Chain A
Amino acid sequence: GAVVSQHPSWVICKSGTSVKIECRSLDFQATTMFWYRQFPKQSLMLMATSNEGSKATYEQGVEKDKFLINHASLTLSTLTVTSAHPEDSSFYICSAGGSSGRQETQYFGPGTRLLVL
């Protein structure tokens, strides 16, 4: 149980284009999903928290107009990188909140590697 998928697993795009990444919780409903970004040799950095049916909460320094998050259902959240530039090249990882015993736990997707040329 507690499987989270991401699509695509990797994407290469030209500078200025937009890229959409999907995150799905396959076997549980997630009222909260998270988006992280990881640059090479660095740890994961939280970008935003999204709750189903409401606007996402962005971390300081993350542009909400550039990184559009939609969490329209309990099993799907999408991250759209608008007008991508080479500095947006990174490993994007989502997670979904689920229950593990008595405590809520985050389960992570496999990540999406974005390369902007």
Chain B
Amino acid sequence: DAKTTQPPSMDCAEGRAANLPCNHSTISGNEYVYWYRQIHSQGPQYIIHGLKNNETNEMASLIITEDRKSSTLILPHATLRDTAVYYCIAPSGAGSYQLTFGKGTKLSVIP
């Protein structure tokens, strides 16, 4: 997997947008960027993934820079239930299943 770097922790006020950055400067052309989150004592939850274009779904938006060396996950209106550890992962190879979890970013949404 391409190495990803994320800040260890972030705070966000409830109702505001949470912007979680991820650096993946060694990513290769066919490696997707995946985002998962893990709420305490639960299994990871898939959020979104993308290759080149920005992506949006019902949970979040993913902004990928043009050079693909970094991306930002945006939760548009953070709620207390969004408090979790967020993982940015770039699995090796096209169609690869294997995910390597780093330490992620602990997002705390504050009332």
Contact = CB atoms under 8 A, between A and B. Distances in A.
Tell me if B's interface is mostly helix, strand, loop or mixed: loop
Interface of A: 2, 4, 6, 32, 34, 36, 43-46, 49, 91, 93, 95, 97, 100, 103-111, 113
Given A105-B46, A108-B46, A43 B101 contact: yes
Interface of B: 32, 34, 36, 38, 41-46, 49, 51, 87, 95, 97-104
Nearest to A97: B97
A107 B102 contact: no
A104 B51 CA distance: 12
A46 B49 contact: no
A44 B85 CA distance: 12
Contacts of B44: 44, 93, 95, 108
B46 A106 contact: yes
